[in-house]
Chains A and B, each alone.
Chain A
Amino acid sequence: MPDRKFLVTFSPHDRNPETTDKVMLTVIIAMLPIIANSVWYYGFYAIKGYVLTSLFCIGFELLFNKISGRPCSLKDNSALLTGLLLAMNMPAAAPWWIMLVGSFVAIIISKQVYGGLGQNPFNPALVARIFLLIAWPVEMTAWIQPTPIIRGFLFDTVSSATPLGTMKSDLLAKGHVVTANLASYTDQLIGNVSGCMGGDGAIFVLIGGLFMMNRKVISWHIPVSFIGSLFLFTGIVWAVNPARTVDPFMHIISGGVMLAAFFMATDYVTSPVIKRAQIVFGIGCGLITGIIRIYGSYPEGTGFAILIMNAFVPLLDKYMRPLSFGEVKK
């Protein structure tokens, strides 16, 4: 009888069909409505942006694999995901070299040098965004007016302010928010406002987010605690003094909060693995965003908030570990 022709592995011998590359692909699919929406409003700019950042990110990932002699890691789909996210966090009119630098910072500096997929403490796309924002503030805030694609590919770079930017400058200049200067809820929800390529159009982000929840790729914990705490916090400030800030609903549909809450704060690698720690993480993101927006000099705050909370993830996971089954509290 021929022995040893059978494969021996540890149990279990059956696995859930979900694999890491498929999970990443699901997130990419969930981004399609957002991508479509930005192409609708920014036409050629958006297409160029998504294509360039994706190619740059994939290129840097490959390059690093080659240099470090590691096997190709493209098949996990995470580089593509980072590329798309990075584009969403940039103004449509950002020049190509900004995208190149951003992709370098995202893939090489904030992911690969830490050891690649799963090892980075901070969300790569966000590190890149914040880096660019600090290094090239002018290019990173060169917002263009959204123009539906049916009016043709427009190439005019009419600079215009984001709604939250307008709010902040009104507040600084006049001491109170001028509601009349703000975009309507509808425009904000469908993304017909200036801003990052994928940051506005709350409805489309929500569609993607619900899709991910439905596919069990993400859970409600981070988005709900993030959005909920921002809503509550800004709501309280607004209720006390409506001239101080916009209403809480406006807060949660503008400035990329939805994108941040569903697509960036939920990044597996840089968020807690324990559910109740995720809630604390989400609340932290929401509160810091609110504090920056209302008391800081920067109008948005979601990116900073998530990066700050990323730093707390190891602590949250450590101290919020549930008691194991039957464990006696000491």
Chain B
Amino acid sequence: MPFFGFKGGVHPDYNKSLTMEKPVETLPVKPGDKYYLPLSQHIGAPAKPVVSKNQQVKTGELIAEAGGFISACLHSPVNGKVVSISHVVHPMAGRMEGIVIEADETNDEFVPISDEGTFQQIVQRAGITGMGGATFPTHVKLSPPKEVDSLLINGAECEPYLTCDHRMMLEETMKIIKGAVLIKEKLRIKNLIIAIEKNKPDAIKLFRKYEKEYGFELVPLYVKYPQGGEKQLIKACLNRVVPEGKLPVEVGVIVHNVGTAAAVYEAYTERKPLYERIVTVTGAVVNPKNLRVRVGTPILTLVEACGGFVGIPKKMVMGGPMMGMAVTSVETPVMKGTSGIVVYREEDMPNLTKYPCIRCGRCVDACPMLLVPSIMDRFVKKEMYEALEEHHVLNCIECGCCSYVCPSRRTLVGGFKTSKRHIMQMIKERGAKNA
């Protein structure tokens, strides 16, 4: 059992016990409910609508097609009617182009996708994006430009609070394994590794049973955030270092989340498009749960299914506490990459009293990318983008470890995220000038 580890990282409070033991419940579709589907659920170009207002649609029916290679198709999550094609709430962009569908009948059937074409085409047709949060369109990852010898299935789930992957590993073990094996065979990959953090011993035990039979290698991972970061995972399992600015393919690896593997299986063998997923709803809700919900369901519906808020909600995070997005509205819909909803009350929030940087170096020790956040932060404040680039800010994976440990509560990652955008722009302009 190889284990190579990585430097840095943090040990936040995991708080997973709230939902760890709770089997996934399916959130029923109620006639009259509205589903909000932003056209951009993924990294890359937004999808293009192929339905019109007032059109009747069925579950699984294509409603928007991929707007390019790096894009993903979108399917109706319910049987119902398209009530509008305009702006919907989006967790990142505020509001953006989207389709709203009103459900009219409850039905568990779906319109299967056609099984013509290559494996990649089928996956693309199913609209699968990474289910772990980064939402990269999956068929792109399945079309590696280089030879790949290892497929890594990411079952780390290192974000605190979230247990949707954990539950899936327990309840849909075979789908994950078969999906992984399918990818391995279709892409003729030699090694298949399934990596799971050691704080999920039940899942590890379960997968162990199938290790020989399905020919994969199970790697239990040391519990540390961000163990599930692609680059960290590759280092931990294979001791390979992805060069800066490059993708895992560069070192012959592709990484898929467990949920993605299961979705690929469903798409290929059951011809099911991606229109639902498991979401952990936790924090200040009456009864935290793991819910199987249709994409497009507003957060409020999820919270209500968990018995409502406890106390006065102050902040709502889509995703986990380390990398998730704070959303402004309870109307924000679940997207393909939404792994959790964490609700905070005032009293659950950390003390955010700001102090000047005391140069304690905690952020430096915590950075898994071996950057120097405290010094970079000074450049952020002074808008010294050249210096930031020299300090490799583009290599920042936005994991948040630096901000997490900072006793002075500097908004380190926030600054890096914003600066990265500036620098990308700068590089683009530089390229344009030189061209």
Query: In the assembled complex, how far is the CB of residue B129 from the closest CB belonging to chain A, in whole angstroms?
Result: 20
Residue in B327, B370, B409 whose beta carbon sits within 8 Å of that of A6 in the complex: B327
Tell me the complex Cα distance, A272–B372, Å.
11
**Minimum CB distance partner of A269 in chain B:** B359
Known contacts A76-B355, A268-B359; A326/B350 CB under 8 A: no
* Interface size in chain B (residues, C-beta < 8 A): 72
* Interface size in chain A (residues, C-beta < 8 A): 46
Residue in A11, A78, A326 whose beta carbon sits within 8 Å of that of B400 in the complex: A11
Which of A3, A16, A78 has the most chain B CB atoms closer than 10 A to its own CB? A16
Question: Do B413 and A10 have beta carbons less than 8 Å apart?
Answer: yes
Known contacts A6-B316, A321-B391, A325-B231; A18/B321 CB under 8 A: no
Tell me which residues across on chain B come within 8 A of A17, comparing CB atoms. Answer: 350-351
Cβ of A178 under 8 Å from chain B? no
Tell me which residues across on chain A come within 8 A of B328, comparing CB atoms. Answer: 3-4, 6, 8
Residue in B392, B408, B411, B417 whose beta carbon sits within 8 Å of that of A324 in the complex: B392
Question: Do A326 and B231 have beta carbons less than 8 Å apart?
Answer: yes
Cβ of A67 under 8 Å from chain B? no
**Minimum CB distance partner of A321 in chain B:** B372
Tell me the complex Cα distance, A156–B116, Å.
100
Cβ contacts A4-29/B at 8 Å (1 or 0 each):
10111111111111111111000000
Question: Do B370 and A323 have beta carbons less than 8 Å apart?
Answer: yes
Of A34-42, A111-119, A290-298, which binds chain B? A111-119
Question: Do A16 and B407 have beta carbons less than 8 Å apart?
Answer: yes
Tell me which residues across on chain B come within 8 A of A76, comparing CB atoms. Answer: 355
Known contacts A10-B411, A19-B353, A23-B358; A326/B321 CB under 8 A: no
Interface residues of B in 330-388 (CB under 8 A from A): 330-331, 342, 344, 349-353, 355-365, 368-372, 374-375
Known contacts A11-B324, A15-B350, A19-B407; A326/B242 CB under 8 A: yes
Which of A11, A117, A327 has the most chain B CB atoms closer than 10 A to its own CB? A11
Cβ contacts B300-337/A at 8 Å (1 or 0 each):
10000000000001111101011111111111000000
Question: Do B330 and A325 have beta carbons less than 8 Å apart?
Answer: no
Cβ of A240 under 8 Å from chain B? no
Cβ contacts A273-317/B at 8 Å (1 or 0 each):
111001000000000000000000000000000000000000001
Known contacts A19-B353, A268-B359; A13/B370 CB under 8 A: no
Residue in A11, A119, A269, A317 whose beta carbon sits within 8 Å of that of B375 in the complex: A317
Tell me the complex Cα distance, A9–B344, Å.
12
Known contacts A15-B403, A326-B395; A118/B323 CB under 8 A: no
**Minimum CB distance partner of B354 in chain A:** A20
Known contacts A13-B326, A325-B395; A7/B315 CB under 8 A: yes
Question: Do B326 and A8 have beta carbons less than 8 Å apart?
Answer: yes
Query: In the assembled complex, how far is the CB of residue A110 from the closest CB belonging to chain B, in whole angstroms?
Result: 15
Tell me which residues across on chain B come within 8 A of A116, comparing CB atoms. Answer: 356
Tell me which residues across on chain A come within 8 A of B414, comparing CB atoms. Answer: 9-10
Tell me which residues across on chain A come within 8 A of B398, comparing CB atoms. Answer: 11
Question: Do B321 and A1 have beta carbons less than 8 Å apart?
Answer: no
Tell me which residues across on chain A come within 8 A of B362, comparing CB atoms. Answer: 16, 18
Tell me which residues across on chain A come within 8 A of B327, comparing CB atoms. Answer: 6, 8
Question: Do B316 and A15 have beta carbons less than 8 Å apart?
Answer: no
Known contacts A6-B329, A7-B314, A275-B365; A117/B352 CB under 8 A: no
Query: In the assembled complex, how far is the CB of residue B289 from the closest CB belonging to chain A, in whole angstroms?
Result: 20
Question: Do B400 and A12 have beta carbons less than 8 Å apart?
Answer: yes
Question: Do A9 and B329 have beta carbons less than 8 Å apart?
Answer: no
Question: Do A20 and B242 have beta carbons less than 8 Å apart?
Answer: no
Cβ of B244 under 8 Å from chain A? yes
Interface residues of A in 182-209 (CB under 8 A from B): none
Query: In the assembled complex, how far is the CB of residue B342 from the closest CB belonging to chain A, in whole angstroms?
Result: 7
Known contacts A1-B331, A327-B395; A15/B409 CB under 8 A: yes
Known contacts A3-B331, A268-B361, A324-B392; A273/B353 CB under 8 A: no
Tell me the complex Cα distance, A255–B370, Å.
37
Tell me which residues across on chain A come within 8 A of B406, comparing CB atoms. Answer: 15-16
**Minimum CB distance partner of B6 in chain A:** A325
Cβ of A322 under 8 Å from chain B? yes
Tell me which residues across on chain A come within 8 A of B244, comparing CB atoms. Answer: 324-328
Tell me which residues across on chain A come within 8 A of B352, comparing CB atoms. Answer: 9, 15
Tell me the complex Cα distance, A18–B355, Å.
12
**Minimum CB distance partner of A314 in chain B:** B375
Question: Do A11 and B323 have beta carbons less than 8 Å apart?
Answer: yes
Known contacts A118-B358, A274-B372; A324/B413 CB under 8 A: no
Known contacts A326-B243, A326-B246; A118/B356 CB under 8 A: yes
Tell me the complex Cα distance, A63–B123, Å.
68
Query: In the assembled complex, how far is the CB of residue A155 from the closest CB belonging to chain B, in whole angstroms?
Result: 40
Tell me the complex Cα distance, A74–B245, Å.
44
Known contacts A23-B358, A323-B370, A326-B231; A14/B13 CB under 8 A: yes
Known contacts A12-B403, A19-B351, A326-B243; A1/B329 CB under 8 A: yes
Query: In the assembled complex, how far is the CB of residue B353 from the closest CB belonging to chain A, in whole angstroms?
Result: 6
Tell me the complex Cα distance, A116–B243, Å.
40
Query: In the assembled complex, how far is the CB of residue A264 from the closest CB belonging to chain B, in whole angstroms?
Result: 15
Known contacts A1-B300, A327-B395; A18/B374 CB under 8 A: no
Pick 7 A–B contacts, CB within 8 A, sort by A. Answer: A7-B326, A10-B413, A17-B350, A18-B405, A325-B369, A328-B243, A328-B244
Partner-A contacts on B (CB < 8 A): 6, 10, 12-13, 160, 231, 235, 241-246, 300, 313-317, 319, 321-331, 342, 344, 349-353, 355-365, 368-372, 374-375, 391-392, 395, 398, 400, 403-409, 411, 413-414, 417
Ranked nearest first, the 10 interchain pairs of A and B with the lowest CB-CB distance are A10-B414, A12-B400, A15-B350, A273-B361, A118-B356, A14-B321, A20-B355, A326-B244, A324-B392, A325-B369
Other CB < 8 Å A-B pairs besides A15-B409, A23-B360, 18 of them? A3-B328, A3-B329, A4-B328, A6-B328, A9-B315, A9-B352, A10-B413, A11-B317, A11-B323, A13-B324, A14-B160, A18-B407, A19-B351, A23-B358, A78-B358, A273-B374, A325-B235, A325-B369
